[in-house]
Every structure is written in C-alpha cells, then in structure tokens.
Amino acid sequence: MIRWTSRASTQTCDGLTRRDFLHAGALGALGLTMGHLSALRAMGAVKKDHDERSCIMIFNLGAPSQIDLFDPKPDAAAEIRGPFKPISTKSKDIQLTELLPLHAKIADKFSLVRSCNHTAAAVHDTGHQMMQTGRLFAAGINTPHVGCAMQYLKGSRNELPAHVLVPEPMGNTGGSMPHGQDAGFLGKGFDPFVLGADPSKKDFKVPDLLPPGYIGEARANRRQKMRDIVDGTVRDFESSENAALMDANFATAFKLMSSTKARDAFDLSKEPTKVRERYGMNRFGQSCLLSRRLVEAGVRFVTINTFLTVFNEITWDIHGSSPFTSIQGMKEAVAPMYDQGYSALIEDLSDRGMLANTMVCNLAEFGRTPRINPAGGRDHWPACWTMYFAGGGVQGGRVVGKSDEIGGYPAERPVTPSEIVATIYHSLGIDLETVLPGPQGRPFTVVDSGTKPIMELF
C-alpha cells in the first residue's frame, strides 16, 4: 500500500519526512514540479510505461438512453425498443442505433460496457459523484475527482495544468449536492483549471489567460502578490501567512498567463477551419477539439461536460415534457451534435498517433427506463446502462457485459461505478492501492480496496 499522509510526524516507510511531503506538496500546488511522480515511480505506484498517458473524460450529464443509442432491443415491444432502428457497425460485435452513424464507422476503436449499474438514489448528483470519484459521498467527506487525484499524484507537465475542466463545471441538476468535479478532501490546490468560457464563440478567450491589460487592477495586484510568493524560496513560502490563504488555482492561472505554451494550447484559432467544422461549430464539438489540443500540449486529464444542467435546454435528460427533453429532441439536436464531436475526436487522435496514449471514456450518471413513459420519454434508471472506452490501452470493437432482453438489468458481468473509475486509474498506470491523505488523518485508497479494473477491455 502506498501512503502519502501529510499529517505524519515521523518518517514514512519510504524514508520521506513530513517536511519532504509539505515541500513537494507546496511546489506541486503551484505547478512547478512533477508533484509526487518521481517518488511514486520509485515505489512502484506508477507504471513507467504508462507515464505519458492522458485521459479525456466525456461526462454525458443528463444520462443518455442505452436502448435508444448503444444497446438496441429490436425484438422487444414497441414501448421498450423505441422508435429507432439498429444499424451494423465496423465491429462485428457492436450494434448501435441509427442515431449514431458516425460512431458506427469507428466502432472498431471503442469498446462498450453494457452492464453498468448502481443501487444509490436515482438522482443525477449521486451518479455524478460515484462515476467521477468512485464513491458516493458520505459523512461530509467529498472524495476527489479522478483527474484531481491524478494531479495530486503526478503533477503538471509542459507549463500546463494537470487537469482542465471544459467548458464549465456542472450546474443545477436538481439535487443541490456536490457533483464530484473538484479535489474534495485533497484541497482547493488540486481543483481542476476551469476553462470558464464557450469555445465555440467567435470571441472565445480563456479568462485566466488574458494579459494584465484586460483584467482589473485588484486582480492584477493579486497576481503580482502571487508572483512575489512564487519568486521566493520554498522556505519563505512555507512561512508566509499567504500560504494558508492563497488560492492555488489562482497561482496556476498566473503561471499560465505568462506561458506561451499555454496560450498556444488554448488557442483554437490555430486550427484550420476545416478541422473546426469537422468537430462541429458548437460548444461540445469545440470542447472536444480543445481537449485534443490540450492533451497534445501536455495536459494529463481533461473533463468535458457535454451539458451544464438538465433544465430548460436540450440534453440527454429525456423525460419527454418541459423543462426536459423529448426523444424527438434527442434525435434532432443532441445525438447528431454528440455523434459528430466524438467521432471527430477519436479519428483525430488516431490519425495523429495519440489514441494509444489517450484514454477517452464516455460516462454518465445512470441510464433511462426500459419502458417509454406516458409523456413519450424515458426516466432515470440506475439499474443498467452503457458506458464506453477508447484508447489508453483499450482494445476496440469489444462488448463487456450484457443487459437483459429489455435493457433493464445486467444479465452478464455487472459493472459498478468504482470499477469504471478503477479502469481509468489502471489505464493511467496508478496502483489501485495508492493511498490519498483524507480528512482527520483517515487514509483513502484511490478506489475502494479490492476493486478491480475491467480487464476485459485491455
């Protein structure tokens, strides 16, 4: 078991002292070192041949219908199978519906998991927590997003943040609970760098990359104070009153502001118009393109929120009546946008030779009810749904698990949220028994001890 506990007052089993840990942690929060990566390598917690891997997590907020997209049931009754026909794909083992024709052309590059399930409440927020951290929050303890844990364990590279969230954090989804998109008990210093803008807009600029002339005097002064801290010694930093109060994400933003590499990575105007149009000139498509640019530049982890809320906009949340989406709205607006953006990303990564070292995982908080409701939609259903993976060591064209004849329950190989998160850690080369320093000195393994990744994918 790998232990990184900042609260110990003696040497750890690997010879590191508390000051060693604080020293590394302070630098890592400022993005100035590789964090704990060297020590993790030495202890065998990180597989060296996986060091260069990155991850793009596409989170399908609202939850796509497994039956209408990834797991068609053509022999079921009409109120179950829905209005969409199944189509063949480039993989002999994968059948999709007609809503995903571009997915069908690249089905040899991704693999489906059709037996995901959980038993928590069928509300969006609980699913968001479990699918992004591996755990349901309890007793006031918020566990970290997998990308934030990756930032803590591996640090940044190439003058870029380790974890970027695009385009914005999740908003209201009805539960008023944390969504699991921050660093939780690891602290604000390991929160993701949030894009905070729509990359499809003509005037798109990253707010925290704007030069000082475009920001207020107070903000500029605050950034200058941060530079003073950064330019000081580690000893000065550790003794500074600012150390306990500073916003480490702000420090990262200050560092990024002066980085040419960062500016270039976030600059979509450098992409040919043809490439931008291939992804789709919409928020999701351009978020996918930006994610490719960020990973290419050195970002370790990118989280894309397909949507930001489930209310009063077209999303995957197809209850069928206002303020939610209908099945027809999914067909006409959501699925085409999503199909285009995802297929462009996978093809682009593949063409550039990046897919082998970039895991792309498509997650959601749950599935949809097998039976269409009276409003012509489908409701929340955590008992069975589909997720999928590409790249990062995953063998494409496979199907793991199987749902029953109505797509309502796993019939073979049930898969839990913790196994999904474990699979991401496995791809990125993190030992699943690695321990993070939790609140009140309580150690947490990155996933529940004993959880295994979905090895059928590799």
Domains and CATH numbers, the chain: 50-457 (3.40.720)
**Cα of 73 vs its chain's centroid, Å:** 29
SS3 316: coil
Please tell me the least confidently modeled range out of 68-77, 105-114, 172-181, 357-366.
172-181
* Tokens representing residue 381 in the block: 């259903």
pLDDT score at 20: 35
Which amino acid is present at 238?
E
Q: Does the pLDDT at position 241 exceed 70?
A: no
SS3 303: strand
* Tokens representing residue 241 in the block: 């009153």
> With bands split at pLDDT 50, 70 and 90, how would you rate the model's confidence at 310?
very high
Are the C-beta atoms of 326 and 368 separated by less than 8 Å? no
Q: Does the pLDDT at position 212 exceed 50?
A: no
For residue 99, give Cα distances in angstroms to 16, 71, 339, 366: 54, 12, 8, 19
pLDDT score at 223: 54
What sign does the CA torsion over 148, 150, 156, 158 have?
A: negative
pLDDT score at 98: 98
Question: How far apart are alpha carbons 17 and 13 in whole angstroms?
Answer: 10
According to DSSP, residue 282 is labeled: S
How many C-beta atoms surround the C-beta of residue 236 within 10 A?
Answer: 12
pLDDT score at 28: 39
Mean pLDDT on 102-125: 98
Residue 105 burial (10 A CB sphere; 0-12, 13-18, 19+): middle
Question: How far apart are alpha carbons 87 and 379 in whole angstroms?
Answer: 24
How many C-beta atoms surround the C-beta of residue 205 within 10 A?
Answer: 14
pLDDT score at 16: 37
* Tokens representing residue 443 in the block: 């150690």
SS3 144: coil
**What pLDDT digit, counting tens, does each position of 150-165 carry?**
999 999 988 899 999 9
Please tell me the least confidently modeled range out of 6-10, 340-344, 409-413.
6-10
**What pLDDT digit, counting tens, does each position of 387-443 carry?**
999 999 999 999 999 999 999 999 999 999 999 999 999 999 999 999 999 998 899
The model's pTM is 0.85
Q: Does the pLDDT at position 450 exceed 70?
A: yes
pLDDT score at 127: 98
